[in-house]
Amino acid sequence: MNTKTTTGTFAALAAILGVTVVVLAVQANTLRSRLREVTELKSPEAPVRPKSNGPDVAALRRQLDEQQAAYIQLEDQYRELQRKTEGAPEMPKAVVATSAATTTNNPPERGGRGGWGGGAAWMEKLKKEDPERYKQMMADREQRKKQTDDWFQNQADTLAQRVQSAASPDEATVA
């Protein structure tokens, strides 16, 4: 897996974990407020037993403890993903959009020696079963190849122009 895909995957996982952490925090706060209400209803002077259809304080406390434990675990995972993605170079937006759109287009399993097992067979199967998707994938592939070729040609032209317009051999060096 290349660095760009890994960075995009980590960023997506970090975002998902972040949303999950927020949702769990909201749930924990809701449970805390419900527990506080139940505790306040119970006065220390006259112990009142909850009605049979009222909330069970022990069950609410257990549920709150479970939510807090899950929240802490997700927060740790989120911090770990944040730490992993801090040093990674940022992926261009076009690559992120492309990799996110084509994530489901990857063959389902890897073959031996690090390559995709049955990649050609997978493409042939896709060509037969979903010709529109296959055509779109091929068009996207060609577009990315053309963009890459254009970029390299632009770089080569810029370097050639720099060499030709240089007044001295020192100016012609590319640093």
Mean pLDDT by 10 residues, the chain (175 residues): 69 82 86 81 58 73 89 87 71 54 52 55 87 92 94 89 76 57
Give residue 149's pLDDT.
Answer: 93
- Where does residue 139 rank: exposed (0-12), middle (13-18), buried (19+ CB within 10 A)? exposed
DSSP state of 2: -
pLDDT value of position 113: 47
Q: What 3-state DSSP class applies to 5?
A: helix
CA distance 57 to 50: 9
Task: Give 58-69 as a 3 state SS string.
Answer: HHHHHHHHHHHH
Give the chain's end-to-end CA distance (angstroms, integer): 30
Report d(CA 92, CA 135) in Å as an integer: 25
Q: Residue 108's closest CA among 126, 122, 97?
A: 122
Give me the pLDDT at residue 136, please. Answer: 92
Residue spans of the domains in the chain: they are 3-104, 119-170
Task: Please answer whether residues 172 and 163 qualify as being in contact, where contact means their C-beta atoms are separated by less than 8 angstroms.
Answer: yes
User: Is 3 in contact with 77 (CB distance < 8 Å)?
Assistant: no
Extended strands (E) in 47-146 = none
Query: How far, in Å, CA of 128 to CA of 11, rounded?
Result: 34
What's the CA gap between 98 and 92, in Å, rounded? Answer: 10
At 44 the pLDDT is: 59
